[in-house]
Amino acid sequence: MTDIPAPRHIPDRLDKPLSSAIFSWEALLVVVAVAIFAINSFASPYFLDPYSLSDLTFNFTEKGLIAFAMALLIISGEIDLSVAAIIALASTMMGMAVQAGAGTPALVAIGIVVGLGCGAFNGLLVTRLGLPSIVVTIGTMSLFRGIAFIILGDQAYKGYPESFAFFGQGYVWWVVSFELVLFLIAAVVYWFLLHRTSFGRRVFAIGNNPVAAQFSGVRVGRIKFILFCLTGLMSGIASVLITSRLGSTRPSIAQGYELEVITMVVLGGVSILGGAGSIVGVVLAAFIMGLVTFGLGLLNVPGIVMSIFIGLLLIIVIALPIVWRRLRGGR
């Protein structure tokens, strides 16, 4: 091996020796996760309890669902800052439907369709007009949440049907929540999509070099459009879960989620510059963020202080391999 580390994109993985697999990003995340788990179980006697461990999952499942689609989007070199605003808009639409007497199946359909529609709108603006996604989605972020504010004002929608509560509060088996099951299914689906299909290879190709991808016959615009639709779709699903869990809709719902989702993706080892990343990393990062916030919650640390730990974790984990490389004398 030379001093220059191989870029972490997937096609290289086949040629990598075993040692690099052991010192991979995912391995680092596993170590971090185990360490935090151990600290948690020593710090609080209430941590190692099936019910409290089940509660823990609610800290990351909703954001994690969006993080899978966001990971693909960021790997392709784009970004979506409007995901939290999509949640707000979809939740508002569901609230309106409830006032009109809609039942649970209709509510779920509305949430998903509104999410998909918002994602398609972002995708059209980015791909058809060739605009930078960071700017487009800052705009649509204000636009989508603005519409929620126009409709709701300072009101809140309540009165969701009882059967609707299952999505955000229900358990599939003993203490295993519906949200966790959905998260795990989505993890497998996205893992397969990204790492085992030609679609996934094209996503990496676009992120590594969009021009080269275009010339090798990849329909860059169409794939990016699909990725924006996926992010919108996952935000719509997350909207159903959050609305169901809270049982109400306010225009400020899910405020600030976009940055937490992106933190999760970046912590999971997805390169913000595009072209590199894995779903396993994102799953681990989701667990880590859930463990950190839940563990600190058990210790009665206020939410805003938890964010210090998440921010530090992000920077330290990203900086660690770089510092390590420097210390070993490579540059």
Partner 1 sequence: MKALLKYREIWLAAAIVVLIALISTRFPAFADPGNLRQVFNDTSILMILALGQMVVILTRSIDLSMASNLCFTGMMVAMLNAAHPAIPIPVLIVTALAVGLVLGAINGLLVWRLNIPSIVVTLGTLTIYRGATFVLSGGAWVNADKMSPEFIGFQRAAFLGIPVLSWIAILVIALFFILMTRTALGRSIYAIGVNPTASVYTGIDVGRTKFIVFCISGMIGGLAGYLWISRYVIASVEVANGYELNIIAACVIGGISIAGGIGSVGGAVLGALFLGIISNALPVINISPFWQMAISGSAIILAVVLNARGERQQGRIILRKVEAA
Distance CA 221, CA 223 (A): 6
Smaller CB distance to partner 1: residue 161 or 256? 256
Options 14-22, 44-52, 156-164, 310-318: segment touching partner 1 (CB under 8 A):
310-318
Instruction: Please report whether residue 12 would count as binding partner 1 according to CB under 8 A.
Output: no
CB-based contact 151:88 (threshold 8 Å):
no
Which residues in 279-290 are b (16+ Cβ under 10 Å) and which e?
Answer: bbbbbbbbbbbb
Written as six digits, the tokens of 297 are 């919650």
Its sign, for the CA torsion 155, 161, 162, 167, is negative
- Residues of this chain, 69-98, that bind partner 1 according to CB under 8 A: 77, 79, 81
Q: What are phi and psi of 151, to 5 degrees?
A: -70, -45
Instruction: Please report whether residue 104 would count as binding partner 1 according to CB under 8 A.
Output: no
Look up residue 172 and give its DSSP letter: E
Look up residue 76 and give its DSSP letter: T
Instruction: Please report whether residue 306 would count as binding partner 1 according to CB under 8 A.
Output: yes
Q: Residue 144 carries which side chain, given as an amino acid letter?
A: F
Binding letters toward partner 1, positions 266-295, x by CB under 8 A: x-----xxx---------------------
Options 93-101, 164-172, 278-286, 301-309: segment touching partner 1 (CB under 8 A):
301-309
In the list 57, 59, 239, 263, the residue contacting partner 1 (rule: CB under 8 A) is 263
In the list 141, 234, 288, 291, the residue contacting partner 1 (rule: CB under 8 A) is 141
Cα–Cα distances in angstroms (integers) from residue 190 to residues 15, 276, 307, in the given order: 23, 15, 27
In the list 8, 9, 63, 145, the residue contacting partner 1 (rule: CB under 8 A) is 145
Smaller CB distance to partner 1: residue 70 or 262? 262
CB-based contact 29:268 (threshold 8 Å):
yes
Residues at the contact surface with partner 1, assessed by CB under 8 A: 77, 79, 81, 125, 129-136, 138-147, 149-150, 153, 210, 255-256, 259, 262-263, 266, 272-274, 302, 304-308, 310-312, 314-315, 318-319, 322-323
